Each structure stands twice: as structure tokens, then as C-alpha cells.
């Protein structure tokens, strides 16, 4: 057993763990963030991709101890989770009388441009591969802000999607690239 510390999405997470624990298990079971998915445990499908010290890695093929002291960002880091008014749909009789409670969450407005583009382009169906796709594309677009469609395809060649045929994913990546370019560095 070893005690390690990993900064997950900016928060310090300490755990005393079996050396066999993989980074993905640390993220899911110690940091309690289950958005990072395990689709194969063999470093192929890419659903487990996260950012480790600025590089995208497959977290099912990295030991947690390898990441000791490092900084990890997961899909949960992409859009801000913040307190915001509960959506209040009973607009008619009570509207305006009470102020809605605050609850934690992301709204469509908080989405990262990649998430927004995935939503707009219908780039996800079952959603299982999506976190990995988003994390890989985030790293890729930072490196190559004006990619061609072929370059996008190459960038996600380590991420398997069985639902979409990839077409809408490439569409979304191109749309997000444009948004990110317009927003500037």
C-alpha cells in the first residue's frame, strides 16, 4: 500500500492505495468521479482518456502511483459545476413570488465549446465514449486549433465509437474548433 496525492480537476485527492490500482480506478473510486469510463481495460477504446500533466492518456493503462503528485483533468472539469437557481418550470401561478433554491449543476450555457458542439451536432448517442472523445479533442484542438477533418479523424483514431459512425463527432470537433478560435487564446 502507498499513500499518494493526485490533483484531480484542481482538487487535491489523497488515497492510501494498493499499488495495483489504475489511474482510472483512482479517479472513479477514490476521487468518486465516474464520468471517466472503462470500455476495454486494454488501452484501445479510449473511453477512459483523461489529461495527465497536460497530455491526454488512457487512464486504464496508467498506474495511480505513476500519477502521484501529478495533475489530472477529467470530463467533469470541462464545464463549470456551480450553484445556480433550480430550473423553475411552474411559470404560471407562482412565477416571481419565490426565489428558486440554488443547486449545483451545469447548464447548457456552462458547457465547454466542445460539449456544446457535441450537443448541437448530435455527436453522441449512448454517450459512453463521449468523455474520452471530449478529453482527446480538447488536447488536440489546443495543439492544432485549425484542423482539417482528416486530422480530427486521426486525432480520435484511438477512441472507438460504435454508435455514431464518427460523422457527427467530426462535425462537432470542427464546430468547436471554430468557436475556440473565435474566442482567442
- Based on the shown chain and the rule CB under 8 A, indicate whether residue 20 belongs to the binding site for another protein: yes
Q: Which of 84, 128, 178, 179 binds another protein (CB under 8 A)?
A: 128
Pairing of strands 2-8, 71-73: parallel
Q: Write the burial class of residue 151 (CB in 10 Å: 0-12 exposed, 13-18 middle, 19+ buried).
A: middle
- Based on the shown chain and the rule CB under 8 A, indicate whether residue 28 belongs to the binding site for another protein: yes
Taking the complex as a whole, the smallest distance from the CB of residue 13 to another protein amounts, in Å, to 16
102 SS3 class: strand
Taking the complex as a whole, the smallest distance from the CB of residue 185 to another protein amounts, in Å, to 18
Phi, psi of 107 (to 5 degrees): -115, 170
- Residue 89 or 182: the one with the smaller Cβ distance to another protein is 89
Q: Which of 72, 168, 175, 176 binds another protein (CB under 8 A)?
A: 168
Q: Which of 84, 153, 178, 179 binds another protein (CB under 8 A)?
A: 153
- Residue 127 or 145: the one with the smaller Cβ distance to another protein is 127
User: What is the Cα 10 distance to its own chain's centre?
Assistant: 14
C-alpha cell at 180: 475556440
Contacts of 93 by beta carbon, 8 Å cutoff, 6+ apart: none
- Based on the shown chain and the rule CB under 8 A, indicate whether residue 138 belongs to the binding site for another protein: no
78 closest CA partner among 128, 136, 120, 125? 136
- Based on the shown chain and the rule CB under 8 A, indicate whether residue 163 belongs to the binding site for another protein: yes
- Based on the shown chain and the rule CB under 8 A, indicate whether residue 130 belongs to the binding site for another protein: yes
Size of the site for another protein (CB under 8 A): 87
Q: Taking CB under 8 A as the criterion, which residues in 69-108 touch another protein?
A: 74-76, 78-79, 81, 87, 89-93, 106-108
50 membership: H or E segment, kind and range: strand 49-52
Amino acid at each position: 500500500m502507498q499513500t499518494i496525492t493526485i490533483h484531480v480537476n484542481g482538487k487535491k485527492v489523497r488515497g492510501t492505495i494498493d499499488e495495483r490500482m489504475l489511474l482510472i480506478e483512482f479517479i472513479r473510486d477514490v476521487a468518486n468521479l465516474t464520468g471517466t469510463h472503462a470500455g476495454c481495460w486494454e488501452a484501445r477504446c479510449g473511453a477512459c482518456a483523461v489529461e495527465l500533466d497536460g497530455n491526454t492518456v488512457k487512464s486504464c493503462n496508467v498506474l495511480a502511483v505513476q500519477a502521484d503528485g501529478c495533475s489530472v483533468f477529467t470530463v467533469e472539469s470541462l464545464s463549470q459545476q456551480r450553484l445556480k437557481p433550480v430550473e423553475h418550470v411552474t411559470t404560471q401561478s407562482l412565477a416571481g413570488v419565490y426565489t428558486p433554491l440554488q443547486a449545483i449543476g451545469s447548464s447548457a450555457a456552462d458547457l465547454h465549446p466542445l460539449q456544446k458542439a457535441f450537443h448541437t451536432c448530435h455527436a453522441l448517442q449512448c454517450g459512453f465514449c463521449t468523455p474520452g472523445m471530449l478529453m482527446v479533442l480538447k488536447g488536440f484542438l489546443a495543439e492544432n486549433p485549425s484542423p482539417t477533418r482528416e486530422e480530427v479523424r486521426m486525432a480520435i483514431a484511438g477512441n472507438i465509437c460504435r454508435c455514431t459512425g464518427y460523422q457527427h463527432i467530426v462535425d462537432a470537433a470542427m464546430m468547436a474548433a471554430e468557436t475556440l478560435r473565435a474566442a482567442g487564446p
